A = this chain, B = another copy of it.
Amino acid sequence: MARDGARRSKRKRERKIDLQMPVKQPRRPFAPVEILTPEQVEDIHQASLKVLRDTGIHFMGRKARDFLARCEGVSVDQEAEIVRFQPETVARAMASVPGQFRLHARNPARDLEFGVGRIAFANVVTPPYVEDSERGHRVGSMADMEELIRLIHTIDAVGMFYGYPVEPQDLDPLTRHLHAYRAHAVLSDKLWRGYTLGDDRICDAIEMARIARGVDEETNKSQPSLLGNVTTNSPLRIDEPMGDGLMIMGAAKQPVSITCFGMAGAISPISLAGSLVQQNAEILAAAVLSQLANPGAPLIYGSFASSVHMRSGALPFGNPEFVRLTIAAGQLARRYGMPYKSAGATCAKAVDAQAAYETQMAMWAGIVSGADIMVHAAGFMESALTVNYEKLMVDTEMIQMLAASLKPIDCSTPSLAVDTIHQVGPGGHFFAHPQTLEHYETAFYEPFLSDWDNRQNWLDGGATTAHERATPLWKELLESYRQPKLEPAIREELDAYVARRAQEILASQAA
């Protein structure tokens, strides 16, 4: 290939970050795998129903208990705050969970679909610390969060913000959510998630997402803009803000992922089946509350279950128990016709082989389990305590590679290439064949961070590790950031909303 050299030097003038591929929501070309037999799925389902009927769930919020006390087939012990559900009630409530829905971003190109066989990837959620090779490990601030929103905005592989990419710890906790949501709404046109931290705050999230889209409340109900998340408090507890959040989000027709953060051996049974039974009971309880209060409210079945390292108390991720629980939970989600959320995760502290293999174990588990969204999939380090810029680049490459691996194989007659094979014949080569020359620029995945060079070139280039190569990449991406257009009127409305609500909150505290 005489033109090889010319091609390569042209390529070298291009920015590495231009090699990003548009990922968004690749379609899974195969059926999800199954680690449970259909009979085992049913056994877990039935065992969960027993837990809901006989043991019950501690609903800590008065509003949820009072509502449930009025529902048929639900018995509420107000003193013990325990709610028990009859199996028929669970079945009736679960029948109204929608199997699919679309989440509407302020830029429609950023919309995401759930329950349609596609998978989206989202960032690590709310770590308290942030780290990069240049500035070290530090407590997260608003400036860090804004920079991370800008950075993640530029990364095609991250489909939405599933929570603050770092906790802005320098902001007053009372009004933090207002400034954080405003930053998401203004600095990016990707979807973002609201936290269910009490009635007023979740209403703020719903309202700000609606304002950013510039739609009225009715449109916002039929075309939801905000994803919420409710995490159960294992074992068998649903906190007041979580129960309230489910009802408020449901009334506004905004989707909620119900996540059980199980830890087998600690806050769920040491047996994986038992952990699945408890997780399923908790998710069903939250889903039943949601559906009884607002039939048809969109929900996601969320798994973030692992085992505790019994010798040390450590909480590993991407370990074999995490993988098995992720695959099994996907089967349970499908049992109820619910979209499914998995997570990429690691407990590594260094951006090294362990960080990559643990994260990728979790990622593959999510892919083969049929997840609709994989959260914690970008920047995650140290069991979600830290977001790391270099790891964000490693994860970007891994997500891109996974997404590209899901592409179907074109088997049209020209692609089967019987004529090409005949023309080249035994002992020939395909470099110069017209079919190769026509397709060589786009046929294959182009690496983003990986070094595919030979040893001598790699040595001449400084014998870098992936961790070292990642630093200039995120700097390039940050430089490439352009703030997405937002109508001035919308921005003013957002700013006014934040100012008014901040004043209200601070005034009510002072009173």
Contacts and interface: CB of A to CB of B under 8 A. Distances in A.
Interface of A: 4, 7-8, 11, 29-31, 33-36, 40, 43-44, 47, 50-51, 54-58, 82, 233, 235-237, 264-274, 276-278, 281, 307-314, 316, 318-321, 323-324, 327-328, 347-358, 360-361, 364-365, 368, 382, 385-386, 394, 397-398, 401-402, 404-405, 407-412, 414-418, 420-422, 424-431, 433, 435-436, 439-441, 443-447, 449-455, 458-459, 463-467
Copies in the complex: 2
Contacts of A416: 43-44, 47, 271, 273-274, 277
Contact of A425 (B55, B264, B316): B55
Contact of A51 (B11, B30, B421, B467): B421
Given A50-B418, A274-B421, A310-B443, 4 more contacts: A47-B416, A265-B436, A307-B443, A356-B356
A444 B43 contact: no
Contacts of A57: 426
A275 B440 CA distance: 14
Given A273-B416, A352-B352, A454 B314 contact: yes
A407 to B, nearest CB: 7
Nearest to A449: B354
A307 B401 contact: no
B312 A350 contact: no
Nearest to A83: B426
Contact of A411 (B4, B40, B314, B449): B40
Contact of A237 (B268, B385, B427): B427
B431 A265 contact: yes
Contacts of A266: 429-431
A271 B414 CA distance: 9
B316 A447 contact: yes
Q: Count chain B CB atoms within 10 A of each CB in A44, A233, A237, A420 and give the residue with the most.
A: A420
Contact of A277 (B412, B418, B428): B418
A306 to B, nearest CB: 9
26 contacts: A8-B312, A30-B327, A31-B33, A40-B409, A44-B411, A54-B418, A56-B426, A235-B429, A235-B430, A265-B444, A268-B430, A271-B415, A274-B421, A277-B416, A311-B446, A314-B452, A314-B453, A318-B401, A347-B450, A349-B459, A352-B356, A353-B355, A354-B356, A354-B465, A357-B394, A360-B361
Contacts of A4: 313
B411 A273 contact: yes
* Residue of A321, A368, A444, A463 most packed against chain B (CB within 10 A): A444
A500 B414 CA distance: 56
A319 B445 contact: yes
Nearest to A40: B411
A281 B264 CA distance: 50
A358 B450 CA distance: 9
B421 A278 contact: yes
A406 to B, nearest CB: 8
A319 B447 contact: yes
Given A310-B443, A312-B453, A444-B321, A417 B273 contact: yes
B455 A349 contact: yes
Contact of A441 (B310, B394, B446): B310
A420 B360 contact: no
A421 B264 CA distance: 12
A281 to B, nearest CB: 8
Contact of A467 (B36, B353, B401): B353
Given A316-B452, A385-B455, A356 B360 contact: yes
Contacts of A267: 429-430
B405 A328 contact: no
Contacts of A361: 360, 401-402, 405
Contacts of A316: 447, 450, 452
A465 B352 CA distance: 6
